[in-house]
Structure 1
Amino acid sequence: MSKKITIAIDGYSSTGKSTVAKQLAKKLGYIYVDTGAMYRAVTLYAMRKIMVTDNKVDEEAILRHLAFISVKFIYDEDLGYGIIHLNNENVEKEIRLMEVSNNVSKVAAIPEVRKMLVKQQHEIGKDGGVVMDGRDIGTVVFPDAELKLFMTASAEKRAERRYAELKEKGEDVNYEDVLKNVEERDHLDSTRETSPLVKADDAIIIDNSNLSKEEQFDKILSLVKEKTEA
Structure 2
Amino acid sequence: MSKKITIAIDGFSSTGKSSIAKLIAKKYNYIYVDTGAMYRAVTLFAKQHFFVGKDFLDKEKLISNLKDISLSFQFNKQLGFAEMFLNGKNVEKEIRTLEISQLVSKVAAISEVRKKLVAEQQKMGEKSGVVMDGRDIGTVVFPNAELKLFLTASADKRATRRYKELIDRGDKVSFKDILFNVEERDRIDSTREDSPLIKAKDAVEINNSDMGIKEQFERICSLIDRKLQEN
TM value normalised by structure 2: 0.98
Cα distance in 2 between the residues matched to 1:28 and 1:55 = 43
- Deviation string for 1:100-154 (max 9, x for gaps)? 0000000000000000000000000011100000000000000000000000000
For structure 1, which runs of at least 5 residues remain unmatched after alignment? none
Shift of 1:27: 0.5
AA aligned to 1:77 is K
Which stretch of structure 1 is more off in the superposition, 6-15 or 45-54?
45-54
Q: Residue in 1 aligned with 2:81?
A: 81
For structure 2, which runs of at least 5 residues remain unmatched after alignment? none
- Deviation string for 1:82-109 (max 9, x for gaps)? 2110000000011000000000000000
- Deviation string for 1:41-60 (max 9, x for gaps)? 00000000111123321101
Q: Residue in 2 aligned with 1:206?
A: 206
CA contact under 8 A between 2:53 and 2:103: conserved in structure 1? no
Cα distance in 1 between the residues matched to 2:130 and 2:158 = 26
* 1:147-186 equivalences in 2 (<5 Å): 147-186=147-186
Cα distance in 2 between the residues matched to 1:99 and 1:34 = 19
Q: Residue in 2 aligned with 1:113?
A: 113
AA aligned to 1:124 is M
Backbone CA RMSD of aligned residues: 0.8
Q: Residue in 2 aligned with 1:93?
A: 93
- Deviation string for 1:166-202 (max 9, x for gaps)? 1111111111110000000000000000000000000
Shift of 1:81: 2.5
CA contact under 8 A between 2:151 and 2:208: conserved in structure 1? yes
Cα distance in 2 between the residues matched to 1:73 and 1:52 = 24
Number of residue pairs aligned between Structure 1 and Structure 2: 230
Q: Residue in 1 aligned with 2:133?
A: 133
Q: Does 1:8 align with 2:8?
A: yes
CA contact under 8 A between 2:73 and 2:82: conserved in structure 1? yes
Shift of 1:80: 2.9
CA contact under 8 A between 2:150 and 2:205: conserved in structure 1? yes
CA contact under 8 A between 1:2 and 1:229: conserved in structure 2? no
Cα distance in 2 between the residues matched to 1:52 and 1:80 = 32
Shift of 1:229: 1.7
Shift of 1:157: 0.2
CA contact under 8 A between 1:51 and 1:61: conserved in structure 2? yes
Secondary structure of 2:145's match?
coil
Cα distance in 2 between the residues matched to 1:128 and 1:99 = 35
Which stretch of structure 1 is more off in the superposition, 30-39 or 166-175?
166-175
CA contact under 8 A between 1:55 and 1:103: conserved in structure 2? no
Cα distance in 2 between the residues matched to 1:43 and 1:35 = 13
CA contact under 8 A between 2:6 and 2:146: conserved in structure 1? yes
Shift of 1:64: 1.3
Q: Does 1:71 align with 2:67?
A: no
Which aligned segments of 4 or more residues in structure 1 are displaced greater than 6 angstroms?
Answer: none
Shift of 1:3: 1.2
